Amino acid sequence: MKANLQDQKRLLELVDLDLSLVRNAGDRAKLLSATATSEASEKALAVSDRLIDARNRVGDLELELKRSENDLELVENRIAKDNQRLSSTSSAKDAQGIEHELTTLAKRKSELEDAELGIMEVLETVRAELSEAEAAKSAAEQELAELRAALETNTSELDSARAELLSKRSALVGLIEPELAAAYQRKAERNVAVGKLVGHECGACRLSITATNLEEILTLPADEIAECPNCQAYLVRS
């Protein structure tokens, strides 16, 4: 295929742009598949589950404590009433019955106070766990937000670079003879389309060219674009 020297140089520029676009796409894919953000997201979810569990446990214990306090209040009120009855009764039989009931109520009060103390101790522990979970959730969310912000920034930078590369490519293709540009595109869809001939080596496939083939390439007219016998890429001679 005929191609003036300027167009041949433009093909080398074009293949460099295409390789940069490939690297850009690879960098973007690698960035989006990075594990740091997904791990931070999983960590934030796990901490959220822990926080919900701690909140539920605190709620249950507070409810249990409230019931215990109500039960204790009822017993204390009953004890106060019985003491009042005991002080005002003149019946020995009634006094005996009231004293028996007071003994039972005292035992019940002691049991309720012990239970209440136990609940309060557990509640204190669980509230501490809740505070830790809240702090951990805040830290995990902050870490995730920072990673997402960095990801967005880096992705935007890659997208901007890609847009610039595509703009340069479009402008360069517009300068190349249309038939040659179309031929380049067909080759580019299969492999690296253009390479510079450096000594005995093709710049596209990095393979050596035999002496016989090299002699044939070097004897071609300057405006005749050669092809690598190994990869069929266009070869631009110095």
Tens digit of each residue's pLDDT, the chain (238 residues): 888 889 999 999 999 999 999 999 988 888 777 667 778 888 888 899 989 999 999 999 999 999 999 999 999 999 999 888 888 887 888 788 888 999 999 999 999 999 999 999 999 999 999 999 999 998 988 888 888 888 888 889 999 999 999 999 999 999 999 999 999 999 998 889 999 999 999 999 999 999 999 999 999 999 999 999 999 999 998 7
- In this prediction, residue 92 carries a pLDDT of 81
In the three-class reduction of DSSP (H, G, I as helix; E, B as strand; rest coil), residue 2 is classed as strand
- In this prediction, residue 152 carries a pLDDT of 85
In the three-class reduction of DSSP (H, G, I as helix; E, B as strand; rest coil), residue 208 is classed as strand
Residue 84: count of CB within 10 angstroms of its CB: 11
Token pair recorded at residue 49: 């589950």
Ramachandran bin of 206, using left for φ above 0, alpha for ψ from -120 to 50, beta for the remaining angles: left
- In this prediction, residue 42 carries a pLDDT of 85
Beta bridge partners of 208: 201
Which residue is it, tokens 């505070």?
A: 131
- In this prediction, residue 39 carries a pLDDT of 81
Which residue is it, tokens 């005991």?
A: 86
- The H-or-E segment that residue 196 falls in is strand 194-198
The CA distance from 57 to 188, in Å, is: 63
The CA distance from 91 to 94, in Å, is: 5
- Asked if residues 68 and 119 have their Cβ atoms less than 8 Å apart, the reply is yes
| Strands of the chain, DSSP E | 194-198, 201-202, 226-227, 234-236
- What are the boundaries of each domain within the chain? 5-27+175-236, 33-160
Token pair recorded at residue 154: 């880096």
What's the topology of domain 33-160?
Helix Hairpins (1.10.287)
DSSP for 102-154 reads HHHHHHHHHHHHHHHHHHHHHHHHHHHHHHHHHHHHHHHHHHHHHHHHHHHHH
Fill in the DSSP letter of residue 175: T
User: Cα 51 from chain centroid?
Assistant: 20
- In this prediction, residue 154 carries a pLDDT of 86
**Rg of the Cα trace of the chain?**
42
Residue 51: count of CB within 10 angstroms of its CB: 20
Beta bridge partners of 2: 224
- In this prediction, residue 65 carries a pLDDT of 94
- In this prediction, residue 167 carries a pLDDT of 96
Residue 176: count of CB within 10 angstroms of its CB: 21
In the three-class reduction of DSSP (H, G, I as helix; E, B as strand; rest coil), residue 224 is classed as strand
